[in-house]
Structure 1
């Protein structure tokens, strides 16, 4: 723990929200949802790609999903070639190809096939590929239910079936659902419950890795700003030398070991239990506070402690974990199904009370209601 407190914790302090969310999931061996406005999705996608390479030194792939995405598209789209392992994107930077080109799934497959000569003795390129360490499923919530079930199988079973092989998920492995915050499409209940945490990215939070890369590029003298580049057509960037990752596999292993040693006192356990009970009994909550969420709650509290240099769980860590664990899980009730309607409450009065209530409001109200241990 002294090693973690002396070296790794210092690096954690400089991480952005996206970097920290990725680190937490890698340490806990879990997966996450990242939401952003539709216009920011491309920038966030590229930021995660840079986080994969520069912060963790891991391979990454992007699966662009839509209503037309098939099971075959999903199975093929999450694979990378052996040459792409331990950072596929450094090779793209050295090439003349656009680093930030948005490839469709079919384009990615054709691109990889060009790198493997077709001959009677050659292996099928799909058989020689493997699942990327970090998979970004963009707009996963828009896909058909069967595709989401395939994603659920990948998260739970750590493998995916294609027409030619069975591919096991590597270690470490992180599956990120990158969705538009204003989208009307929802993830199926069981898949949504399997995601460890959720994070909402706002424009003012910035994209530090992408902005730094763009700042080092030789822009033309047209006054184009970094923010406008992020939201506009992709541009070619200069070659960049691969660097050592900020967090190595040894660092991740040290954090995992430290997480297992975190102590949770009976008072903190009671505090966590009360939060869960208050969430389940809140008049605006129809469901979503599942058994899996309570396990994830405890796991996140443990994972947060070593990142702050603690060997124990504190009330502040519990408060931080509450919003990350339950925000995407809470199912809000309708006025007609609100429990007080069973004993004669006025529908108009209930509508007035529930009008505009969000999952964030529920969490904030519960945290204010539950007594914090001293």
Structure 2
């Protein structure tokens, strides 16, 4: 199990920092959602999380319908990191703890010759409004995550060992990315602006200018701290512990029952895929060391389900609901499905009417 010092550091992380840590431990990628008005603040907060908490390089790409493949490739390349000021204390919010509320690739587009060979892919890629990017850009993002490389005209750029791709979205529920990209994302997390942006607040408390500390032009080097709170060794240790997490037969059966109930739920049109099942099991194993456990519990499985399926569950259209083939009234079905979202479906399955929790 993890030592007490590491657990103390983990329990002091905010919700965004925990989401990033879990993805780094699992070596997977995530979706982070927030309100549209808070999107810019969230970008800056995640930049500070990358540099101050994990001590890694980061890059931001602001996607739109006009984003090209070259724009995407240029934005994710970063120069060598340089040290910055030491980090400040962070306010906590533990959304990932039990006592908290709870494909085929397209042809590659080579990067233009102006891309310097001294640049490398940043450790953390923050793709703002990725759902607004053209389909070919989203496929390029998927290819980057799957192969951990991107092709230029003169070389192949490989992603670093610690690599995290964050799709930053604003507002909405359910799948918004292309099908295969959405299914490849490990977890999704909604950050409520009312929970604050601890690292940004620290900068304001220091009397520093946000524009001088956070905002950077593409030509500037990213800020990386030399004394990260969560080191590479810490992440590797947690990853190793997750590989040795035990899942007993009863808990495994509970996992499978949740999957079956989700697939059979009358409001679900799809999204309960085989990759999601693998991610479901992986997240439950990754959560155990964070709770100082060497085994997965039913509570951890429930917690994992909320993070794995929130962005995957597709709500069925009333005319496609299965009872319609037996003569149900369309208006009645539409009324029944009105207002139901992915979160409601998950809570329904995890509730008393869903899969039975093993004692």
Give the TM-score range, shorter chain.
0.7 to 0.9
Structure-to-structure mapping, 1:146-161, within 5 angstroms: 146-161=136-151
Quick check: 1:62–1:136 contact (8 Å CA) kept in 2?
A: yes
- Residue pair 1:62, 1:137 contacting (<8 A) in 2 also: yes
Within the candidate set 27, 30, 47, 2:28 is matched to 30
Kindly tell me: are residues 180 and 126 of structure 1, through their superposed partners in 2, closer, same or farther at Cα, counting changes over 3 Å?
same
Q: Following TM superposition, by how much is the alpha carbon of 1:242 offset from its aligned partner in structure 2, in angstroms?
A: 4.3
Q: Counterparts of 1:64-213 in structure 2 under 5 Å?
A: 64-81=62-79, 83-84=80-81, 90=84, 126-182=116-172, 186-213=176-203
Q: Deviations over 1:336-365 (max 9, x none)?
A: 000000111111111111010000000000
**Are the counterparts in 2 of residues 140 and 178 from structure 1 also a CA contact under 8 Å?**
yes
Once residues 307 and 292 of structure 1 are traced to their aligned partners in structure 2, the CA distance between those partners, rounded to angstroms, is 23
Q: Does structure 2 conserve the Cα–Cα contact (< 8 Å) formed by 1:33 and 1:197? A: yes
- After superposition, residues 328-367 of structure 1 pair within 5 angstroms as 328-367=311-350
Q: How far, CA to CA, are the matches of 1:168 and 1:6 in structure 2?
A: 35
Greater fraction helix: 1
Q: 2: distance between equivalents of 1:139 and 1:40?
A: 13
Residues 180-220 of structure 1, C-alpha deviation per residue, up to 9 Å, x if partnerless?
1149992100000000000111111111111111111158x
> How much has 1:57 moved relative to structure 2?
0.4
The CA deviation string for residues 41-73 of structure 1, in whole angstroms up to 9 with x for no partner, is 111111111111111000001011111000111
TM-score (norm 1): 0.82
SS at match of 1:198: strand
TM-score (normalizing by structure 2): 0.86
5+ long unaligned stretches in structure 2: 86-112, 215-222
Contact 2:175-2:313 within 8 A present in 1 as well: no
Cα RMSD, aligned residues only: 2.2
Which whole-Å CA distance do the structure 1 matches of 2:322 and 2:45 have between them? 44
Shift of 1:5: 3.4
- In 2, the alpha carbon distance for the partners of 1:38 and 1:184 equals 16
Greater Cα radius of gyration, structure 1 or 2: 1
Match of 2:272 among 289, 293, 299: 289
Secondary structure at 2:3 match in 1: helix
> How far is the alpha carbon of 1:165 from its aligned partner?
2.2
How many pairs are equivalent?
A: 323
**1:76–1:162 Cα contact (<8 Å) kept:** no
Could you report, residue by residue, the CA deviation over 1:295-316 in whole angstroms, capped at 9, with x for unpaired residues? 0000000000001100000111
Query: Aligned residue for 1:100?
Result: none
Change (3 A) 1:164 1:77: farther
Q: Distance in 1 between matches of 2:173 and 2:278?
A: 28
Deviations 1:279-331 (A, max 9, x none): 00000000010000000000000000001100000111111111100000001
Query: Structure 1 stretches (4+) deviating beyond 3 angstroms?
Result: 182-185, 234-238, 240-243
